[in-house]
Amino acid sequence: MNPTKKVAFYTLGCKLNFSETSTIARNFVNEGFERVDFKESADIYVINTCSVTENADKRFKSIVKQAQKVNPEAFVAAIGCYAQLKPEELADVDGVDLVLGATEKFKITDYLNDLTKNDFGEVHSCEIEEADFYVGSYSIGDRTRAFLKVQDGCDYKCTYCTIPLARGISRSDTMANVIKNAEEISVKGIKEIVLTGVNIGDYGKGEFGNKKHEHTFLDLVTELDKVEGIERLRISSIEPNLLKNETIDVVSKSRAFVPHFHIPLQSGSNEVLKKMKRRYMKELYQDRVSKIKKVMPHACIGVDVIVGFPGETDDLFLETYNFLNTLDISYLHVFTYSERDNTEAAEMDGVVFKNVRAKRSKMLRGLSAKKRRAFYEEQLNTERTVLFESENKEGYIHGFTENYVKIKAPWNPNLVNTLHNVKLTTIDDDGLVRFNFIENFKD
């Protein structure tokens, strides 16, 4: 294997994909490859794909084209969820040489002995049942925060979702390995770790290769909070039925866990929730929100919601709209339902026209802007901590408070990746928040 080969990565999708790309990239470097930016000329381009992204196929093709334009001779490999779900489709894309499924992606360097371009991509996929083992990963160096994978796969059967088909059964890292990874991250000067996975509330399942729960998500939160050197811990997203009141209490009293919860709701209509085979009714969701706001009034609550699910009539959509409007939440992530092969929902009656889906999505994005503005206004004149990010965005540096308020300040490289106590003052026209330093910040 020629050690000076250059490799570049492109990641689509979620925090979990970013944590896995970062780990795979470190493996390449450990094996003597040189990592370069995706815009640069490389011998190998690795694209970590997503099956949830809208137009995933179009996005993938344009990224392959981008790589081919820089170096037409380069070897192009596709990994990730889309590669697991539709390997032949990706292998057929002009310029693709290799497609690896869920069990092979971490062993990609084994497939790179011969970098001769193929007319048709070589596929090494698998039956998803074989992806029953766990590989740990975390991202480092790409962003201010590190994404720490603690769990993979999912045993739920939500009728619109392909993730269990792309990532397999629910399984978890061992508690010891999660703690080791968190310690490794913290000694590298990272101030914030974001816990990621597919269904992280199910943490503990499959920790030792069986279906039993040796540990729970509450155990994970409790143990991670003890790890020295980590300033902030953020829970990326957690199912409402798996976010226990005890966990909310522990977070409210914890040293490092921040008061920010991202909780998928998907619909505010119990009738639609049943069709989605979600594992809760809206009343449980309401209880979780009230509980959080009771013990952490300044907490930020983000909500995933799907519009245009089959059978979602105008009345049922309004039920969702009104439910969200009454909830004390901070912002929405709005997803427009789109049919996915091999899902139950794709066969359901009551298909909602695309233009109606788009109209409903627009309404909820309007509601999200209103909620975020109201939440930010509530935070003005309060004292918070801010973690500054690393990019100079048109002369400004951005950052987030512990409760996920986005702030801005004139660009200052000395602020990069630093934590400061501030008092939030005003909201700018672009919706970002200004502040005053509480402690005297010397340049």
Binding site for ligand SF4 (CB under 6 A): 154, 156, 158, 161, 163-164, 198-199, 239
- Rounded Cα gap, residues 421 and 199, in angstroms: 33
Least separation in angstroms between CB 240 and ligand SF4: 11
Query: Burial, 417: exposed, middle or buried (Cβ in 10 Å; 0-12, 13-18, 19+)?
Result: middle
| HEC sequence for 365-408 | HHHHHHHHHHHHHHHCCCEEEEEECCCCECCEEEEEECCCCEEE
Task: Return the number of the residue (112 or 198) whose C-beta is nearest ligand SF4.
Answer: 198
Minimum CB distance to ligand SF4 smaller for 25 or for 163: 163
Our CB check for ligand SF4 shows the closer of 53 and 186 to be 53
C-beta closer to ligand SF4: residue 158 or 273: 158
Give the 3-state DSSP-derived string for 109-159, with helices as H, strands as E and coil as C.
Answer: HHHCCCCCCCCCCEEECCCHHHCCCCCCCECCCCCCEEEEECEECCCCCCC
Q: How far is the CB of 316 from ligand SF4 (least distance, A)?
A: 19
Tell me the closest approach of the beta carbon of residue 439 to ligand SF4, in angstroms.
42
- Do 409 and 397 form a contact (C-beta atoms < 8 A)? yes
CB of 241 to ligand SF4, least distance (A): 10
Name the token pair of 323.
């439910």
Smallest gap from residue 158 Cβ to ligand SF4 (A): 3
Q: Which is nearer to ligand SF4, 153 or 259 (CB)?
A: 153
CB of 121 to ligand SF4, least distance (A): 27
Query: Closer to ligand SF4 at the Cβ: 76 or 265?
Result: 265
Residue 249 or residue 304: which is nearer to ligand SF4 going by CB?
304
- φ, ψ for residue 11 (rounded to 5)? -115, 130
The residue (of 195 and 433) whose beta carbon lies closer to ligand SF4 is: 195
How far apart CA 280 and CA 413 sit, in angstroms, is: 46
* CA–CA distance, 259 with 307 (Å, rounded to integer): 27
Name, in order, each residue with C-beta under 8 angstroms of 343's C-beta and a sequence gap of 6 or more: 159, 160, 161, 162
- Structure token pair of residue 409: 């300040």
Which residues, in sequence order, are bridge partners of residue 8?
45
3-state secondary structure of 66: helix
Specify whether the CB–CB gap between 128 and 165 falls below 8 A: yes
Closest separation between CB of residue 99 and ligand SF4, Å?
A: 22
Do 223 and 179 meet the contact criterion of CB atoms below 8 Å apart?
Answer: yes
